[in-house]
């Protein structure tokens, strides 16, 4: 079990200690923490709970500590939620590789697997694969031909990396992901209405320090690579189509669907279940609300959303009737405007 005094936490992460120094064993919520645990306050609406918490210390925003109980210890910082994230990592470091290969793993003789790597049961590593130092490939995963993984990558169980997938340093891919499957590339013969598959010969490149959530799929490019930039956070069950470019430090929430050849800029935030048509560009720093249908390029950063506000079914049914008649109402209004302009 990791243990740190409050002063040691400040030494590692910065901030300022107010109150008694004490030993902390873990991180818990305001409601559940005990005297050996640390918690945080980032949302002011929970401020009253500080009077009730049994936590040994509380992370709060510097400058907001006035009026808080004086019998508690505080770590003051600029951003409590960010500080909480760093404290969590301090107490919960990534597991170290054990440097062994399970007897049931199948590794092609041409693959390069350093002794520091951990290869779990039933893993398959194909020809010409190159693993960096301290990689962890967990049970049932398949690393396809000519894949390249840099140092400290973690591949969770039952993930498949198709051939020519390239991962930067410290990439984490959670369970059951499929990286590098064929993109949805088909050409239609308009005479016979038959579909002709376009071979997908590109790959997927994922930048260093990115994390891919469980059951997410990222398709390989048709000719060039599909690219996910460094430091990206891709949630569970996200679909990223072929030839997409996802900028660095962009976050995409669960169930988003991104069609082929979409170029999303750096530092964007994409809400859950957002949908993108193909061949559009999204400016750096753009925020897309959950459930939004993005049907055109966005050249100027901002907050964009097209979700219809939540309402009762009864109210929606009434509004749906009016929506069906919008075109008729529009033309009647134009006629009235014309008559008014002629009579004035």
242 is catalytic: yes
| Cβ neighbours for 110, distance < 8 A, ≥ 6 positions apart | 127, 128, 129
Burial-class residue 93 by CB neighbours within 10 Å (0-12, 13-18, 19+).
exposed
Query: Would you say 20 and 94 are in contact if contact means Cβ atoms under 8 Å apart?
Result: no
**Count of beta carbons in the 10 Å neighbourhood of residue 169:** 16
Partner residues linked to 232 by β-bridges: none
Q: Using N-to-C axis directions, what is the helix angle for 313-324 and 326-343, rounded to 10°?
A: 50
Query: Would you say 74 and 61 are in contact if contact means Cβ atoms under 8 Å apart?
Result: no
What span, in angstroms and rounded, lies between the C-alpha atoms of 209 and 152?
10
Q: Six-digit token pair at 280?
A: 């559009």
User: Which one is catalytic: 12, 242, 249, 322?
Assistant: 242
Coil, strand, or helix at residue 221? coil
For the chain, the first-to-last Cα distance in angstroms comes to 84
Query: Would you say 141 and 157 are in contact if contact means Cβ atoms under 8 Å apart?
Result: yes
Query: Would you say 192 and 231 are in contact if contact means Cβ atoms under 8 Å apart?
Result: no
Helices (H), 233-312: none
Angle, alpha carbons 129-131-136 (nearest 5°): 120
Burial-class residue 145 by CB neighbours within 10 Å (0-12, 13-18, 19+).
middle
What span, in angstroms and rounded, lies between the C-alpha atoms of 42 and 32?
16
Catalytic annotation, residues:
242
């Amino acid at each position: 079990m990791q243990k740190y005094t409050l002063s040691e936490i400040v030494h590692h992460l910065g901030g300022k200690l107010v109150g008694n120094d004490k030993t902390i064993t873990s991180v818990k919520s305001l409601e559940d923490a005990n005297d050996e645990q640390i918690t945080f306050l980032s949302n002011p609406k929970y401020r009253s709970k500080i009077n009730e918490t049994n936590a040994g210390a509380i992370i709060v925003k510097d400058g907001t500590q006035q009026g808080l109980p004086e019998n508690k210890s505080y770590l003051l910082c600029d951003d409590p939620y960010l500080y909480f994230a760093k404290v969590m990592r301090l107490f919960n470091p990534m597991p170290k590789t054990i440097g062994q290969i399970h007897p049931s793993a199948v590794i092609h003789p041409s693959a390069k697997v350093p002794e520091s790597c951990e290869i779990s049961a039933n893993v398959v590593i194909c020809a010409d694969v190159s693993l960096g130092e301290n990689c962890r490939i967990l049970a049932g995963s398949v690393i396809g031909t000519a894949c390249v993984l840099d140092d400290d990558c973690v591949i969770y169980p039952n993930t498949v990396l198709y051939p020519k997938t390239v991962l930067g340093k410290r990439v984490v891919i959670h369970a059951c992901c499929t990286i590098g499957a064929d993109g949805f590339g088909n050409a239609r013969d308009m005479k016979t209405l038959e579909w002709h598959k376009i071979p997908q010969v590109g790959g997927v490149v994922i930048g260093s320090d990115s994390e891919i959530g469980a059951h997410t799929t990222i398709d390989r490019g048709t000719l060039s690579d599909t690219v996910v930039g460094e430091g990206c956070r891709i949630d569970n069950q996200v679909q990223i189509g072929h030839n997409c470019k996802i900028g660095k430090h962009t976050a995409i929430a669960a169930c988003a669907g991104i069609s082929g050849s979409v170029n999303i800029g750096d530092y964007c935030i994409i809400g859950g279940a957002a949908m993108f048509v193909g061949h559009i560009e999204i400016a750096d720093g753009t925020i897309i609300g959950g459930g939004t249908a993005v049907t055109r390029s966005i050249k100027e950063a901002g907050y964009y959303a097209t979700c219809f506000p939540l309402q009762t079914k009864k109210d929606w049914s009434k509004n749906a009737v009016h929506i069906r008649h919008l075109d008729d109402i529009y033309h009647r209004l134009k006629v009235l405007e014309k008559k008014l302009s002629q009579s004035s």
